[in-house]
């Protein structure tokens, strides 16, 4: 059994099965979610296991809401009226760095903004009348945000927005005590506050 699969089934899953998983997966009341990291090249296998995990949890009476960050990205760009063809054309003209910077501003809001468009789209998919003893949310397809949007922004902007437990499935590498390297390409970002599995 691979390391990530062992951590998923033996580490994270038992916590999610608890009557109230929040204390087991997070040290913060206003951030009742955890991060599960896995090798980016295992994306398809992880997606399959997420589906199986969802089935097992639902069989035990949990309600699992799966939120695809790839779909949230498309919705956010559509709401901003940003066309994919324009993004591609602008990237050719201005370069990847400039286009990444522009997309980051569109999705994350201006500096100092409490919440960006991407997080707003994602938050609308959370159960509005969620029961923390029954509901769980999964944030999947985070790799679709690479290289222009860091998942740490989602974690911070989601703070205080929900009281149901959740998991951000994070393609990257664990580094140190609380550091994660998104897609194994960025320098490790330290001090993630959610618990890392």
d(CA 137, CA 182): 21
d(CA 11, CA 191): 21
pLDDT at 115: 67
If DSSP codes are grouped into helix, strand and coil, which group holds residue 49?
helix
Positive or negative torsion for Cα 142, 33, 136, 54: positive
pLDDT by position in tens, the chain (length 197): 799 999 999 999 999 999 999 999 998 889 999 999 999 999 999 999 999 999 999 999 999 999 999 999 889 888 887 766 677 777 788 777 767 777 777 777 554 555 688 888 999 999 888 899 999 999 999 998 888 787 878 888 888 889 999 999 999 988 766 678 878 776 666 667 788 89
pLDDT at 191: 64
**174 neighbors 196 (Cβ within 8 angstroms):** yes
Range of the domain at 170: 3-196
- Domains in the chain: how many in total? 1
d(CA 115, CA 180): 22
Q: Which of 194, 167, 196 is nearest to 28 (CA)?
A: 194
Exposed/middle/buried for residue 117 (C-beta within 10 Å: 0-12, 13-18, 19+): buried
Place of tokens 């498309």: 74
pLDDT at 114: 56
Task: Give tens-digit pLDDT for 15-73.
Answer: 999 999 999 999 888 999 999 999 999 999 999 999 999 999 999 999 999 999 999 98
pLDDT at 147: 80
Write down the pTM of the prediction. 0.89
């Amino acid at each position: 059994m691979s390391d990530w699969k062992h951590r998923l089934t033996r580490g994270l899953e038992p916590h999610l099965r608890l009557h109230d998983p929040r204390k087991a997966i997070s040290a913060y009341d206003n951030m009742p979610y955890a991060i599960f990291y896995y090798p980016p090249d295992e994306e398809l296998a992880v997606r399959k296991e997420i589906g199986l995990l969802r089935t097992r949890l639902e069989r035990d009476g949990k309600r699992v809401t799966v939120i695809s960050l790839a779909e949230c990205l498309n919705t956010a760009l559509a709401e901003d009226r940003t066309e994919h063809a324009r993004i591609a054309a602008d990237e050719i003209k201005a370069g990847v760095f400039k286009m990444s910077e522009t997309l980051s501003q569109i999705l994350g809001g201006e500096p100092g903004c409490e919440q960006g468009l991407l997080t707003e789209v994602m938050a609308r998919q959370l159960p509005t009348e969620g029961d923390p003893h029954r509901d769980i949310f999964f944030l999947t397809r985070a790799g679709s945000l690479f290289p222009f949007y860091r998942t740490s922004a989602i974690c911070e902007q989601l703070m205080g927005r929900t009281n149901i437990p959740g998991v951000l499935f994070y393609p990257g590498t664990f580094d140190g005590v609380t550091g994660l390297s998104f897609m194994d390409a960025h320098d490790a970002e330290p001090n993630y506050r959610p618990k890392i599995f």
